[in-house]
Amino acid sequence: MKTKRGSGVKRCMFLRSGIIIQLIINLIAFSACSQNAGRHESSINPQKMAVNKTEEQWKKELTPLQYNVLRQKGTERPFTGEFDDFFEEGDYSCAACGALLFHSSAKYNSGCGWPAFFEPADSLNMLFKRDLSYGMVRTEVMCAQCGGHLGHVFDDGPKPTGVRYCINSVSMVFKPSGQKKSPE
C-alpha cells in the first residue's frame, strides 16, 4: 500500500497548529488567572493607614460577609444589599472604620443592583486602583482610612459628575440625618 508523502506532512502541520492553538488557550487562561490573583494585591501600605489592624482583628470585628467584601475584595449579589433600594436622608460611612463616604443627597437609583452615588462626601476618604479582574477594566474604590474594598467607580453616571460609584451595601453603615456621631 502506497502512501503519499505529502499526507504525512499535512498531518504534522495539523498537529503543530493544534499544539499552537492549545498553547494560545493556555496562555490566555494563565494570564486570566494572574489578573484574578492580582485583584487581591494592593499597593496600599497597611502601616500608613489611619486604621491599622491585623486580619485576625478584622475577622473578629466584621461579619463573614463584611470580611469577604471589605478585606478580601468580594462582592455581594446584585439587588440583595440593604441600601440598594434605600433612599432616606443621612450619611453612609465605612462599615470597617467609620470614615464618611457619601451623603444621601448624592445617591440615586442606577438600576445596577448596588447602591449608586454620583460623588463622594470627601474624596480624601477614598483610594482608587485599576482593577483588571474578571476580564474587565474597572477602577476599584477603597477606604483611605482602613484600606477596605468598597466597590467600583464607572464613567457612566448622571450629571453633574458623570460618574457612578457602585458600592457594596455591606461595606457601609447608614446614619440618619440628625443622629449624633458616636464618640470614637
- Residues forming the active site: 166
Residue pair 101/121 in contact (Cβ under 8 Å)? The answer is: yes
Residue pair 172/107 in contact (Cβ under 8 Å)? The answer is: no
> H or E element: which one contains 127?
strand 126-131
**Mapping DSSP to helix (H, G, I), strand (E, B) and coil, where does residue 5 land?**
helix
**Mapping DSSP to helix (H, G, I), strand (E, B) and coil, where does residue 107 land?**
strand
DSSP 134-173: GG--EEEEEETTT--EEEEEES---TTT--EEEE-GGGEE
Residue pair 173/83 in contact (Cβ under 8 Å)? The answer is: no
The DSSP bridge partners found for residue 91 are 103, 175
Residue pair 85/137 in contact (Cβ under 8 Å)? The answer is: no
